[in-house]
Amino acid sequence: MAFQLPFRFGAKSAESPLESRARQSKMMEYDQPLVWVTLLLMLFGMVMVYSASISLPDSPKFAAYARWQNVYFLQRQAMFIAVSLIAGLFVFRIRVADLQKAAPYLFIGTLVLLVLVLIPGIGVVVNGGRRWLSLKVFNVQPSELMKVVAVLYAADYTVRKQQYMHKLTKGFMPMAAAIGFVGLLLLLEPDLGAFGVIVCIAMGILFLGGINAIWFGGIGAVLVTIFVSIIALSKFRRERYFAYLNPWEEDNALNKAYQLTHSLIAFGRGEIFGVGLGGSVEKLHYLPEAHTDFLLAVIGEELGLAGVLVVIALFYWIIKRAFDIGRQAIAIDQTFAGLTAKGIGIWIGVQTFINMGVNLGLLPTKGLTLPLMSYGGTGVVINCIGLAILLRIDYENRVLMRGGRL
């Protein structure tokens, strides 16, 4: 039997226009640009974590890591990224409808973890905060898990209570009680930053879900009052806030505003194009937590304004894409999926804004990492899970718009 080529030179393809469109549609069953931007941010973050942490073993605080020859944090971050990608692939295979069914149970389970954190002997204390549970290999931070769970729970609640969204007692109060209990547990850790992000997620989804505008405005005013009261009644937070208002005053610069002033010095040294990758001086034990909360300052010093603008542009693209996917889902009557996608956009956007604002001196110092980029296992894994859910929503949108079935 003679061998036949699948095509003939000089001959036109017999493929019909419908077959051609079907073949092309299979090439984009998921949002490839979103995947590549996410990978780019994680890998760029890994490089900057290595740069920011390379001198840490010289400090007595991190002397135990000296035997790793300055690559301890690089290896750990690479491991976290690998675990994140595996977790993301697993979550991507879960149907959005199944996530909606599981949302209340995930919320209750995460509340249990937040309670366990506060029990002496179970919760791990790091830098004065009891925020972690030890799994031997690495510590898990339930407050990070609560961010993505809060997105799912708030979206599910809004869909279930849609007819009551204009009523205070049946529409808002149950959700407020749930988030208030979460806030109480987080303040006991304490973790005011995570509480602020979760409140923004819940309020944002409720607003998008159609909550009464008058109630929303009043509730917003109450929340501002609560946060101001928390700061005013806490001596530590109050001192940090006043130091933020005048960081260059000598006593503030040497104490509460120490991180902020050195972060600003780092940005000042970087100017437009930076001092070069690896050339940061502030990471040499001047700027505390340079590989976690203040990674952007190291980027600003080494890569300058140009590097910072690239990071901002990549995060802006992810957030805009999340809202586009959410709007698309709502347009095809997938309300839960749409609110979840927009909730993920709110979560990433708020946390990124707070971290960048703190680094740039626009906001008081608060311990929130830069999503996808800062060193940390739980944060990177949960960020990837959130974006995997976003990819799943986009995938299901594409299937439904083509007339397929889930």
Q: Is the dihedral of CA 276, 278, 281, 283 positive or negative?
A: positive
Is 291 among the domain residues?
yes
271: left (phi over 0), alpha (psi -120 to 50) or beta: left
pLDDT band at 78 (very low <50, low <70, confident <90, very high): very high
Per-residue pLDDT, averaged over 180-196, amounts to 87
Confidence at residue 4, expressed as pLDDT on a 0 to 100 scale: 45
Query: In the structure encoding, which two tokens stand for residue 261, read together?
Result: 């002033």
Top mean-pLDDT range of 20-24, 114-118, 297-301, 376-380: 297-301
The CA-atom distances, in angstroms, between 341 and each of 289, 328, 344, 394 are 31, 10, 5, 9
Mean pLDDT of the chain: 86
Confidence at residue 205, expressed as pLDDT on a 0 to 100 scale: 92
Query: In the structure encoding, which two tokens stand for residue 101, read together?
Result: 């069914």
Query: In the structure encoding, which two tokens stand for residue 47, read together?
Result: 């490089």
Is the pLDDT at 65 greater than 80, yes or no?
Answer: no
d(C-alpha 298, C-alpha 356), whole Å: 12
DSSP codes joined into one string, 171-198: IIHHHHHHHHHHHHHHHHTT-HHHHHHH
Residues 98, 181, 177, 367, Cα dihedral to 10°: -80
Is 332 among the domain residues?
yes
Per-residue pLDDT, averaged over 263-290, amounts to 93
Per-residue pLDDT of 120-140, as tens digits, reads 888 887 766 788 888 776 778
pLDDT band at 69 (very low <50, low <70, confident <90, very high): low
pTM: 0.89
pLDDT band at 20 (very low <50, low <70, confident <90, very high): very low
Is 13 among the domain residues?
no
Domain extent, residue 200, equals: 32-52+70-402
Confidence at residue 19, expressed as pLDDT on a 0 to 100 scale: 47
Is 19 among the domain residues?
no
Confidence at residue 311, expressed as pLDDT on a 0 to 100 scale: 97
36 by DSSP, 3-state: which?
helix
Per-residue pLDDT of 327-381, as tens digits, reads 999 999 999 999 999 999 999 999 999 999 999 999 888 878 999 999 988 899 9
Confidence at residue 8, expressed as pLDDT on a 0 to 100 scale: 41
Q: Which residues contact 65 (CB under 8 A, 6 or more apart)?
A: 56, 57, 72, 73
Is 103 among the domain residues?
yes
Domain count for the chain, please give it: 1
Is 105 among the domain residues?
yes
Per-residue pLDDT of 281-330, as tens digits, reads 999 989 988 999 999 999 999 999 999 999 999 999 999 999 999 999 99
Is 262 among the domain residues?
yes
Is the pLDDT at 101 greater than 60, yes or no?
Answer: yes
pLDDT band at 66 (very low <50, low <70, confident <90, very high): low
Per-residue pLDDT, averaged over 173-194, amounts to 87
pLDDT top residue among 218 and 97 = 97
Is 115 among the domain residues?
yes
Per-residue pLDDT of 249-263, as tens digits, reads 888 888 888 999 999
Query: In the structure encoding, which two tokens stand for residue 290, read together?
Result: 């340079």
